Amino acid sequence: MQRIGVFICWCGSNIAATVDVQKVAEVMKSEPGVVYSADYQYMCSENGQQLIKQAIKEHNLTGIVVGSCSPRMHEATFRKTAEAAGLNPYMVEIANIREHCSWIHKDMDEATEKAIILVRTAIAKVKLNAPLMAGESPVVKRALVIGGGIAGIQAALDIADAGFEVDIVEKNATIGGRMAQLDKTFPTLDCSACILTPKMVDCAQHEKIDILSYSEVEEVKGFVGNFSVKIRRKARYVDETKCTGCKICMEKCPSKKGLNSFNMDLNTRPAIHIPFAQAIPNVAVIDPEQCIKLKTGKCGICQKFCGAGAIDYEQKDTFIEREYGAIVVATGYKPINLDAFNEYGYNDNKDVITSLELERLMNAAGPTNGVLLRPSDGEHPKVITFIQCVGSRDSSGCGKPYCSKICCMYTAKHAMLIREKYPDTEVHVFYIDVRTPGKNYDEFYRRAVEQYGVDYIKGMVGKVYNENGKLMVQGSNLIDNEQITIESDLVVLAAAIEPEPSVRKVATLLTASIDTNNFLTESHAKLRPVESPTAGVYLAGVCQGPKDIPETVSQASACAAKVIGLLAKDKLKTNPCVAIPDESMCNGCSQCANVCAYGAITYENKEFRLGGGKTEIRRVACVNPAVCQGCGACTVTCPSGAMDLKGFSSKQIMSEVEAICKK
Amino acid sequence: MKDVEMKMKERAKQLLESGEVARVVGWKKGDFCYDPSPATFETVEELDNFVYDYFCGANLSKYLIQISKKEGKTAVFLKPCDTYSFNQLVKEHRINRENVYVIAVECMAKFDIEKIKEKGVSQITGVEVKDKDVKVSSLYGETTLYKPEILLTKCETCQKTHQVKDEEIILHERPERDVDRFAEVKKLEAMTEDERFAFWKEQLSKCIRCNACRNVCPACSCVKCVFDNPASGVAAKANDSEFEEKLFHVIRAFHVAGRCTDCGECSRVCPQHIPLHLLNRKFIKDIDGLYGEFQAGEEAEGKTPLTSYTEGDAEPNDVLNGEAK
Amino acid sequence: MTKEERIENLNRLSGTDVRKCMKCGKCSGRCPAFKEMDIKPHQFVTMLGKGKIDELLESKAIWNCLSCMACVERCPRGVAPAAVIEAVRDTVVRMQGNNGIKAEDIPPIVDELIPQQLLVSAYRKYNK
Amino acid sequence: MQEVTTEKKEFTPNIVAFCCNWCSYAGADLAGSSRLTYPANVKIIRVPCSCRVNPMFVLKAFQQGADGVILCGCHPGDCHYVTGNYYTRRRMALLFSFLNYMGIEKERTRVEWVSAAEGARFSAVMNDFVKTVTELGENKRLTDLRVKEGE
Asked whether residue B91 falls in the same domain as residue B158, the answer is yes
Q: What is the ipTM of this complex?
A: 0.77
Residue in C with minimal Cα distance to A484: C29
Distance in angstroms (rounded) separating the CA atoms of residues A321 and B182: 56
Contact residues, B window 171-200, toward D, CB-based 8 Å cutoff: 185, 188-189, 193-200
Same domain, B92 and B128: no
Q: Tell if the CB–CB gap between D98 and B233 is shorter than 8 Å.
A: no
Cβ–Cβ gap A481/C43 under 8 Å: yes
Q: What is the pLDDT at residue D144?
A: 60
Residues making up chain A, counted from first to last: 663
Q: Report chain A residues whose CB lies below 8 A from the CB of B69.
A: 616-617
CA dist B268 and B59 (Å) reads 10
Q: What whole-number distance in Å separates Cα of residue B82 and Cα of residue A81?
A: 60
Task: Assess whether pLDDT exceeds 80 at residue B66.
Answer: yes
Task: Report how many domains make up chain B.
Answer: 3
* B251 and B295 inside one domain: yes
pLDDT per residue over B285-303, tens digit each? 999 999 999 999 998 888 9
Residue B140 lies in a domain: yes
- B234 pLDDT tier (thresholds 50, 70, 90): low
Q: Which residues pair with D70 in a beta bridge?
A: D17, D110
| Cβ atoms < 10 Å from Cβ of A403 | 16
**Euclidean distance between CA atoms A566 and A141, whole angstroms:** 9
Percent of chain A surpassing pLDDT 90: 88
Residues near A471 by beta carbon (within 8 Å), at least 6 away in sequence: A345, A349, A351, A352, A385, A464, A465, A487, A488, A489, A490, A491
Q: Are A557 and A126 in contact, with CB atoms under 8 Å apart?
A: no
> What is the structure's pLDDT at C112?
74
Chain D contact present for B292, CB below 8 A: no
Sequence-separated (6 or more) residues with CB below 8 Å from residue D90: B290, B291, B305, B306, B309, B313
B19 shares a domain with B118: no
Q: Summarize the confidence of residues D66-80 as an average pLDDT.
A: 91
Q: Which domain holds residue B194?
A: 183-320
Range scoring the smallest mean pLDDT among A620-624, C48-52, C115-119: C115-119
Segment holding C43, helix H or strand E = helix C41-50
- CATH 1.10.1060.10 domain locations along chain C: 3-97
Domain boundary among B142, B169, B196: B169
Minimal Cα distance from B274: which residue of D? D146
Same domain (yes/no): B67, B140? no
**Span A311-337, mean pLDDT?**
97
Whether residue B137 is found in the same domain as residue B269? no
A485 touches chain C (CB under 8 A): no
- As a whole number, mean pLDDT of residues D9-21 equals 89
DSSP string, A56-85: HHHTT-SEEEEEES-HHHHHHHHHHHHHHT
Q: State the pLDDT at residue B245.
A: 61
Domains of chain A are: 4-127 (3.40.50), 142-233+318-332+500-567 (3.50.50.60), 248-305 (no CATH), 337-498 (3.50.50.60), 579-646 (3.30.70.3270)
User: Residues A344-360, buried b or exposed e (16+ Cβ, 10 A)?
Assistant: bbbeebebbbbbbbbbb
Supply the pLDDT for residue D45: 97
**Concatenated DSSP letters of B180-246:** -TTHHHHHHHHS-HHHHHHHHHHHHHT-----HHHHH-SS---SS-GGG-GGGT--GGG-TT-HHHH
Is A637:A591 a contact under the CB 8 Å cutoff? yes
Which CATH superfamily groups domain C3-97? Alpha-helical ferredoxin (1.10.1060.10)
- Would you state the pLDDT for residue D4? 47
Per-residue pLDDT tens digits for B189-200: 999 999 999 999
Neighbouring residues of B88: CB distance < 8 A, sequence distance ≥ 6: B218, B219, B259, B261, B296, B297
pLDDT tens-digit profile of A454-498?
999 999 999 999 999 899 999 999 999 999 999 999 999 999 999
- State pLDDT tens for residues A538-590: 999 999 999 999 999 999 999 999 999 999 999 988 889 999 999 989 999 99
In this structure, the answer to whether residues B146 and B156 fall within a common structural domain is no
Q: Is the pLDDT of residue B22 over 80?
A: yes
- Residue B93 pLDDT level (bands cut at 50, 70, 90): very high
pTM: 0.70
Query: Sorting pLDDT into bands at 50, 70 and 90, what band is A626?
Result: confident
Contact D64 A661 (CB under 8 A): yes
The neighbouring-strand residues paired with B146 are B133
Question: Is there a single domain that holds both residue B131 and residue B162?
Answer: no
Cis peptide leading into A281, omega within 30 of 0?
yes
Answer yes or no: do B48 and B131 share one domain. no
Query: How many Cβ pairs within 8 Å bridge chains A and D?
Result: 137
Instruction: Using the Cα atoms of residue C117, residue C119, residue C121 and residue C124 in order, give the sign of their dihedral.
Output: negative
Determine the distance in angstroms separating the CA of D1 from the nearest CA of chain A, rounded to an integer: 26
Give the Cα separation of A116 and A24 in Å (integer): 6
Does one domain contain both B78 and B123? Answer: no
Of A379-388, A506-515, A634-643, D41-50, the least confident: A506-515
Distance CA D151, CA D144 (A): 10
> pLDDT at position A663, please?
63
Query: Is D140 in the B-facing interface, judged by CB distances under 8 Å?
Result: no
Whether pLDDT at C98 is above 70: no
Q: Do residue B285 and residue B295 come from a single domain?
A: yes
Question: A354 CB contacts (<8 Å, ≥6 apart)?
Answer: A264, A335, A338, A346, A492, A493, A494, A495
% pLDDT > 90, chain C: 52
Degrees to nearest 5, angle at CA A93 with A663 and A57: 120
D141 → chain B, closest CA residue: B197
Kindly report the backbone phi and psi dihedral angles of residue B69, in degrees, each rounded to the nearest multiple of 5, phi listed first.
Answer: -85, -15
Give the mutation candidate from C28, C68, C77 for the A interface (greatest A CB count, under 10 A).
C28
Q: Are the C-beta atoms of residues D14 and D66 closer than 8 Å to each other?
A: yes
CB B277 within 8 A of CB B268: no
Chain A environment of C77 (Cβ under 8 Å): 393-396
Asked if residue B28 belongs to a domain, the reply is yes
**pLDDT tens column, A104-157:** 999 999 999 999 999 999 999 999 999 999 888 899 999 999 999 999 999 999
Quick check: bond before A187 cis, omega within 30? yes
For chain A, the average pLDDT equals: 94
Q: With a cut of 70, say whether residue D51 has pLDDT above it.
A: yes
Helix and strand counts by DSSP (H, E) for chain A: 18, 34
Q: How confident is the model at residue A613 (pLDDT cuts 50, 70, 90)?
A: confident
Same domain, B27 and B162: yes
For chain D, say whether A603 makes contact (Cβ under 8 Å): no
Of A619, A649, A650, the CB nearest to B93: A619
Measured at the alpha carbon of residue A357, what is the angle toward residues A352 and A359, in degrees to the nearest 5? Answer: 125
